[in-house]
């Protein structure tokens, strides 16, 4: 009798436990859609990849974390100190941190990891370029000996590209590191990765070293994250609307209204890190004439684009940098604004007289130029508006659409005249990346190579001894570039995300510049 009772009780409790477990399993999963500009990232290798997606930031922790106000806070490093002359940095590391494969994290691993930047081929070496060597002071103290002062070091260390990889497996796996297997110290481990399709991450149960900016320093609250890659924004939105996914990491401005129409969907916005702009190839006639460049730049009606293409969400761009950066504060005269009167006057002055059919002529030649764009629908839409705005001052632009992955190859030919593109970065050194005289074609789509700019660039990149100097030097460099009109700024979006409020509970405050590890640690899935 008691036997039977016990058995029944036992089986009941087992099935109850199973039931709870099953429920918990469904409740602890969430499906995210990767931002459309991150689709197709081929590897989770931060040392080699030129493109890293949001999931990368969950696999790898960094030495320092950045708060929403762009200040720096401890993460894998507990504290740090810069030598007065800027020639050395000492980091005290957190203890008890382990990699996903069980290897310990300590000064030795940091040293080995920094060396990987020097020995691995790829684009990302510049991240650690100013570090001459890393020295182990004791097991949990590491000293970076600098080749020059680098006021930007903490920024680099907080970037996903400086996510700390486990050096032994990195060496052993070679090209497979980041593709088939990946080992970091992050709050999630890689379960599967199908390129261009789907990445599945599972919680790192032993995680206790979350960044200071997150409320939760322990294991993440969600057990399993699926990141789907959907190239079309409208398809992703329909998935969210029909409950197929829980969270979109990017929502274009023109769809935000549609999201807000649904009762169970909400938009989350964070300050943007993108700038949309029109590079102007300074080497191609008629744009070798600075007056024609300025005329084209000032023909762009940023307000109209903001209102009509982006539904009034975000802000106009009048410099090359996002306005959150201090280096974007150039004198008003250097900012580039819509000014059709000035455009027309400049074109007249340059000898381009208005001709038949609203196209300007000079020496019997019409003012006809090419305008390149990529095939994503938002680019095509924006480019068509730009085309119409140029036409309004008498410039006829012929659009050519390229696949987003081939357009870089096309830029390398240097044949472009005008283009519409965007970048995503929140540091002033992006001016160097896109206008440096040694990167003509791509990334320097404008083919801009000016001796004075190169001088200012060298001072900005390597000549600053502290942050104030760096800001001053970069502001001067940025300002000079603007006055040469190698591009027209167009628009800076906000980072807009959308999620299902029945499924996802967001933390009250996301104290980070972007939706990354801190947000994912605090995020919860509802029953």
Partner 1 sequence: MLSWLIKRLLMLVPVFLAVSVVIFSILHFIPGDPIDNLLKIGSSPEARAEMEARYGLDRPLPVQYGIWLSNVLQGDLGTAIVARRPVADLIAQALPHSLRLGGLALLFSTVVGVTLGVVAALSRDRWPDRAIMGGVLVGSTMPSFWLGLILILIFSVSLGWFPVSGARGWQSLVLPVLTIGLGGTALVARITRVSMIEASGRDFVTLLHAKGLSPLRIQLRHVLRHALIPVVTILALRIGWILGGAVTVEVVFARPGLGTLLIKSLAQHDYPVVQACLLMLAMAVMLGTLMGDILQALMDPRVRAAMT
Partner 2 sequence: MIAPLRAFRHPQGGLAGCWLILVIAAALAAPLLTPYAYDVQNLPQAYQPASAQHWLGTDEFGRDLLTRLIYGARTSLSVSATAISISVLCGMVLGAAAAWFGGWLDRTVTMVVDLSWSFPEILIALILVAIIGPGTTGVMIAIAVAYIAQFTRLTRAQIMTLKGETFIEAARSLGAGNAHILFRHLLPNALAPVLVSAMLATGDAIILEATLGFFGLGAQPPVPSWGGMMSAGSALVFKAPWVIIFPGLAVAVTVVAINLYGDALITELDIRSRLRSGA
**Interface with partner 2 by CB under 8 A: which residues?**
232-234, 237-238, 254, 258, 304, 307-308, 375, 377-378, 380-381, 383-385, 387-388, 398-403
Binding status of residue 180 toward partner 1 by CB under 8 A: yes
**Dihedral, CA of residue 322, residue 327, residue 332 and residue 338, to nearest 10:** -30
Give least dist CB 235 to partner 1, A: 5
Give least dist CB 255 to partner 2, A: 8
Stretch that binds partner 1, among 38-46, 150-158, 281-289, 515-523 (CB under 8 A): 38-46
Helix (H, G, I), strand (E, B) or coil at 441: coil
Task: Tell me how many degrees the CA angle 154-158-161 measures, rounded to the nearest 5.
Answer: 115
The number of beta carbons lying within 10 Å of the beta carbon of residue 195 is: 12
Give least dist CB 196 to partner 2, A: 17
| Residue among 19, 147, 196, 208 that touches partner 1 (CB under 8 A) | 196
User: Token pair 């609203």 is at which residue?
Assistant: 358
Give 92's strand partners: 79, 141
Binding status of residue 179 toward partner 1 by CB under 8 A: yes
Beta carbon nearer to partner 2, 156 or 301: 301
Give least dist CB 402 to partner 2, A: 7
Binding status of residue 257 toward partner 1 by CB under 8 A: no
Tell me which residue of 477, 425, 420, 484 sits closest to 454, measured CA to CA.
Answer: 477
Tell me which residue of 161, 182, 155 sits closest to 59, measured CA to CA.
Answer: 182
The Cα–Cα gap between 329 and 331 comes to 7
> Among partner 2, partner 1, none, what binds residue 254 when CB lies within 5 to 8 Å by partner kind?
partner 2
Beta carbon nearer to partner 1, 91 or 237: 237
> Among partner 1, partner 2, none, what binds residue 500 when CB lies within 5 to 8 Å by partner kind?
none
Stretch that binds partner 1, among 191-199, 272-280, 445-453, 491-499 (CB under 8 A): 191-199
Stretch that binds partner 1, among 171-179, 200-208, 422-430, 509-517 (CB under 8 A): 171-179
Helix (H, G, I), strand (E, B) or coil at 265: strand
Q: Could you tell me the two tokens for 526?
A: 């509802």
| Residue among 16, 137, 147, 231 that touches partner 1 (CB under 8 A) | 231
Give least dist CB 491 to partner 2, A: 15
User: Please, which residues have CB within 8 angstroms of residue 176's CB and are 6 or more apart in sequence?
Assistant: none
3-state secondary structure 323-349: CCCHHHCCCHHHCCCCCHHHHHHHHHH
Give least dist CB 266 to partner 1, A: 19
The Cα–Cα gap between 248 and 252 comes to 10
> Among partner 1, partner 2, none, what binds residue 123 when CB lies within 5 to 8 Å by partner kind?
partner 1
Binding status of residue 232 toward partner 1 by CB under 8 A: yes
Give least dist CB 245 to partner 1, A: 9
Number of residues this chain uses to bind partner 1 (CB under 8 A): 36
Q: Is the peptide bond before 443 cis (omega within 30 degrees of 0)?
A: yes
The Cα–Cα gap between 324 and 314 comes to 13
Quickly list DSSP for 130-192.
Answer: TEEEEEEEETTEEEEEESS--TTHHHHHHSGGGPPP-HHHHHHHGGGBTTTB---SSSEEEEE
| Residue among 396, 439, 450, 505 that touches partner 1 (CB under 8 A) | 439
Q: Which residues bind partner 1 (CB under 8 A)?
A: 40, 42-43, 121-123, 175-176, 179-180, 194-197, 228, 230-232, 235, 238-239, 241-244, 403, 405-406, 408-410, 412, 438-439, 442-443
């Amino acid at each position: 009798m008691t036997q039977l009772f016990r058995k029944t009780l036992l089986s009941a409790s087992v099935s109850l436990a199973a039931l709870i477990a099953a429920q918990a399993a469904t409740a602890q999963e969430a499906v995210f859609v990767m931002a459309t500009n991150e689709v197709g990232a081929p590897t989770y290798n931060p040392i080699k990849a030129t493109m890293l997606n949001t999931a990368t930031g969950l696999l790898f922790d960094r030495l320092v974390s950045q708060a929403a106000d762009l200040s720096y806070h401890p993460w894998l490093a507990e504290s740090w100190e810069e030598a007065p002359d800027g020639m050395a940095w000492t980091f005290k590391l957190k203890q008890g941190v382990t990699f996903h494969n069980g290897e310990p994290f300590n000064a030795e691993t940091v040293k080995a990891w920094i060396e990987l930047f020097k020995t691995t081929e790829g684009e990302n070496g510049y991240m650690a370029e100013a570090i001459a060597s890393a020295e182990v002071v004791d097991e949990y103290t590491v000293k970076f000996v600098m080749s020059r002062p680098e006021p930007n070091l903490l920024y680099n260390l907080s970037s996903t590209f400086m996510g700390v990889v486990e050096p032994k497996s990195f060496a052993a796996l070679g090209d497979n590191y980041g593709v088939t297997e990946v080992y970091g110290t992050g709050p999630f481990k890689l379960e599967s990765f199908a390129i261009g399709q789907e990445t599945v991450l599972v919680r790192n149960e032993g995680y206790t070293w979350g960044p200071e900016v997150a409320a939760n320093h322990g294991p993440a609250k969600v057990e399993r994250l699926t990141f789907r890659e959907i190239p079309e924004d409208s398809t992703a939105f329909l998935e969210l609307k029909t409950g197929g996914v829980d969270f979109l990491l990017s929502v274009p401005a023109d769809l935000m209204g549609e999201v807000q129409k649904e009762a169970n969907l909400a938009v989350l916005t964070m300050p943007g890190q993108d700038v949309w702009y029109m590079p102007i190839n300074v080497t191609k006639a008629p744009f070798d004439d600075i007056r024609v460049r300025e005329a084209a730049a000032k023909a762009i009606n940023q307000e109209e684009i903001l209102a009509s293409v982006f539904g009034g969400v975000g802000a106009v761009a009048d410099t090359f940098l996002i306005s959150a950066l201090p280096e974007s504060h150039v004198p008003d005269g250097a900012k580039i604004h819509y000014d059709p009167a000035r455009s027309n006057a400049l074109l007249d002055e340059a000898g381009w007289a208005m001709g038949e059919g609203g196209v300007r002529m000079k020496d019997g030649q019409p003012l006809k130029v090419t305008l390149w764009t990529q095939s994503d629908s938002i680019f095509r839409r924006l480019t068509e508006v730009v085309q119409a705005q140029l036409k309004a001052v008498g410039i006829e632009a012929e659009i050519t659409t390229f696949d987003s992955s081939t357009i870089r190859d096309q830029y390398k030919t240097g044949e472009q005249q005008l283009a519409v593109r965007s970048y995503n970065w929140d540091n002033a050194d992006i001016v160097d990346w896109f206008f440096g005289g040694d990167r003509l074609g791509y990334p320097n789509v404008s083919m801009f190579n000016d001796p004075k700019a190169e001088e200012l660039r060298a001072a900005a990149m390597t000549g600053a001894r502290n942050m104030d100097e760096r800001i001053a030097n970069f502001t001067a460099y940025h300002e000079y570039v603007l006055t040469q009109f190698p591009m027209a700024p167009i628009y800076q979006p906000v980072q807009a995300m959308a999620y299902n409020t029945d499924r996802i509970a967001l933390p009250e405050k996301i104290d980070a510049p972007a939706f990354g590890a801190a947000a994912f640690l605090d995020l919860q899935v509802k029953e």
